[in-house]
Amino acid sequence: MASGATGVRTDQLSSWLAAVAAKPAIFRRTHAVLLTSGHLSSSYSVNCLLRAASIPSACALLLRFLLNHRLLPDHLSLSFSLHSCSRLPSHPVASVVHSLAVRLGHAHDVYVVNAAVSAYFAAADVTAAERLFSETSKDVADVVTWTTMVTGHANAGDIERAKWFFDAMPEKNVVSWSAVLGAYARAGKLPKARKLFDQMASRNAATWSSMVTGLVQSNHCEEALRVFSGMVASGVVPNGAGECRLSVRAAEVDGARCMGPPVCGAGAERGNERRPCDGDHRHVWQMWEYP
């Protein structure tokens, strides 16, 4: 969709605003363009821009324009801005936006809290994420908050802390199961990973892939191939991301010849086979290069 007065497409707006944010000298001109185009006519219109923006500096600039018009950011304005800091880590923007949320009375809004916790983890500020969770866990935290604590610690490499939050979760979901499972597998703690995997009441492609990818990343390639074979045998349809990592490494181990057939078979079933199998299955990574 085009943004008429600006001459900038909506899907390009984030990059455009980020470029503007780096040039304070043209703030006034940019402000005038957005004003005359109607983008600053209400909090709703600005929120639409914030939701589309994926770059923290672009969100910060929009919040500044919003405040200049004495239109106070609401919980959506702030959560959209914080989510941009999760996609593209920026601790300075995350801390400023979170501080603004506190000042405006949105400190205990669940959307703001969840976005802020995620943004702090993305910026590697585990202490801030922990502090915010402890301040809000009793009256605000929901399953998303708890899951973010599990995945955040797992991605940071603190498996025991991730497992503590996982065990304390009032309600577990597939994301939290996959996060802990993948963390154990990546660390090479196969008995614990297998125990957790066996405890799962149900498994989908995401949980199988977490196990497979974690094993590959910890250099347990043959075990990863065995798990992959079990996934295919169970009737679960593989997803591309996990198998791509697995397939590239599969070509590097002796087990590729005997364990390659399940990978090839799954790829062919998806229509990803690009050429006939030559029998040694060392071409399997090519099957996952395209969506």
pLDDT at site 110? 96
Token match 């802990």: residue?
180
User: Are 98 and 5 within one domain?
Assistant: yes
8 in a domain, yes or no? yes
User: Are 45 and 112 within one domain?
Assistant: yes
Minimum mean pLDDT range among 77-81, 163-167, 259-263:
259-263
pLDDT tens digits, one per residue of 184-220:
888 888 888 888 888 888 788 888 888 887 777 777 8
Cβ atoms within 10 A of the Cβ of 57, count?
A: 20
DSSP annotation string for 15-83: HHHHHHHT-GGGHHHHHHHHHHTTTTSSHHHHHHHHHH--SHHHHHHHHHHHHHTT----HHHHHHHHH
User: Are 160 and 274 within one domain?
Assistant: no
pLDDT at site 239? 59
**Best-predicted range by mean pLDDT (130-139, 191-200, 260-269):** 130-139
Q: Take residue 174 and report the two structure tokens written for it.
A: 């597939």
Q: Which one is predicted more confidently, 246 or 83?
A: 83
* Inter-residue contact 40 to 65 (CB < 8 Å): yes
28 in a domain, yes or no? yes
pLDDT at site 283? 43
Q: Which helix (H) or strand (E) holds 8?
A: strand 8-9
C-alpha dihedral over 158, 160, 162, 167, to 10 degrees?
180
pLDDT tens digits, one per residue of 90-124:
999 999 999 999 999 999 999 999 999 999 999 99
The total number of structural domains in the chain stands at 3
Q: How confident is the model at residue 290 (pLDDT cuts 50, 70, 90)?
A: very low
**Best-predicted range by mean pLDDT (17-21, 249-253, 260-264):** 17-21
pLDDT at site 221? 78
**Best-predicted range by mean pLDDT (31-35, 44-48, 218-222):** 44-48
User: Are 52 and 89 within one domain?
Assistant: yes
pLDDT at site 13? 67
Domain that holds residue 181: 142-196
User: Are 66 and 17 within one domain?
Assistant: yes
User: Are 111 and 69 within one domain?
Assistant: yes
112 in a domain, yes or no? yes
- List CB contacts of 198: < 8 A, sequence separation 6 or more: none
Burial class of residue 234 (count of CB atoms within 10 Å of its CB; 0-12, 13-18, 19+): exposed
User: Are 12 and 64 within one domain?
Assistant: yes
111 in a domain, yes or no? yes
Amino acid, single-letter form, for residue 119: A
228 in a domain, yes or no? yes
User: Are 1 and 117 within one domain?
Assistant: yes
